[in-house]
């Protein structure tokens, strides 16, 4: 009899111990989980705020890159996009954009380099581009270094069919009062663009 009661007592004690252990474990996990959640929430809110900030930056950059100041089509399937025309502190304007080749063949920017003998050294480039200030009745050519090299993109090897290439060109800055100019290169139609001030 004593053995039976002892066995039952041990079984009951073991069951109570396991049950108590489980309750404490669950309570511990639950409490720790809440603490973790609150600390996770605090810590995750900080990174998410950073992420949101980064996301905002990406969103603010993406529209500026995606939004075009002007887009013109010509030359058998070429599309020229101007994405930025910014005045710089040095007294010049940097114009940037893309050109997409949908001509059905590889495209070499031979007629974009201009007709001047000095510009022949630039090869396939956007050296022949110009800005026209309609109000001031003045044309601005791409800046060049002392050896006649343009401060602009050279399309080395051309642009393959279906590809898009980025380009830039730097010009003398029109007067401060001039807020828009016409950008023109090769036989592409002129594109009216707004000038923005550098940061």
- Tens-digit pLDDT profile for residues 94-105: 999 999 999 999
Neighbour count for residue 61 (Cβ, 10 Å): 10
Contacts 24+ apart (CB under 8 A), 85-89: 85/181, 85/183, 85/193, 85/194, 85/195, 85/196, 86/195, 86/196, 86/197, 86/198, 87/173, 87/195, 87/196, 87/197, 87/198, 88/173, 88/198, 89/198
pLDDT given at position 126: 93
Q: Please determine, for residue 73, whether its predicted confidence score (pLDDT) is greater than 90.
A: yes
Domain ranges of the chain: 1-67, 70-197
Mean of the per-residue pLDDT values of the chain:
76
pLDDT given at position 43: 43
Neighbour count for residue 123 (Cβ, 10 Å): 14
Confidence band, pLDDT 50/70/90 cuts, at residue 66: low
CATH among 1.10.510, 2.60.40, 1.10.10, 2.60.120 for 70-197: 2.60.40
Q: Please determine, for residue 128, whether its predicted confidence score (pLDDT) is greater than 60.
A: yes
- Per residue in 132-144, is it b (16+ CB within 10 Å) or e — as a string? bbeeeeeebbbbb
């Amino acid at each position: 009899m004593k053995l039976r009661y002892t066995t039952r007592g041990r079984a009951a004690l073991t069951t109570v111990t396991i049950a108590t252990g489980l309750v404490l474990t669950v309570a511990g996990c639950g409490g720790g989980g809440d603490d973790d959640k609150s600390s996770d929430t605090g810590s995750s809110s900080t990174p998410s705020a950073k992420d949101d900030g980064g996301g905002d930056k990406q969103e603010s950059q993406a529209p500026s890159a995606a939004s075009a100041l002007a887009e013109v089509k010509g030359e058998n399937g070429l599309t020229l996009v101007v994405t930025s025309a910014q005045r710089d502190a040095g007294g010049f304007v940097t114009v940037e954009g893309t050109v997409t080749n949908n001509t059905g063949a590889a495209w070499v920017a031979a007629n974009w380099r201009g007709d001047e003998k000095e510009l022949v050294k630039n090869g396939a480039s956007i050296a022949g581009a110009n800005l026209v200030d309609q109000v001031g009745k003045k044309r601005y050519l791409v800046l060049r270094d002392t050896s006649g090299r343009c401060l602009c993109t050279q399309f080395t090897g051309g642009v393959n069919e279906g590809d898009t290439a980025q380009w830039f060109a730097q010009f003398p800055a029109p007067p401060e009062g001039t807020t828009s100019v016409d950008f023109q290169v090769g036989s592409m139609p002129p594109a009216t663009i707004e000038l923005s001030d550098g940061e």
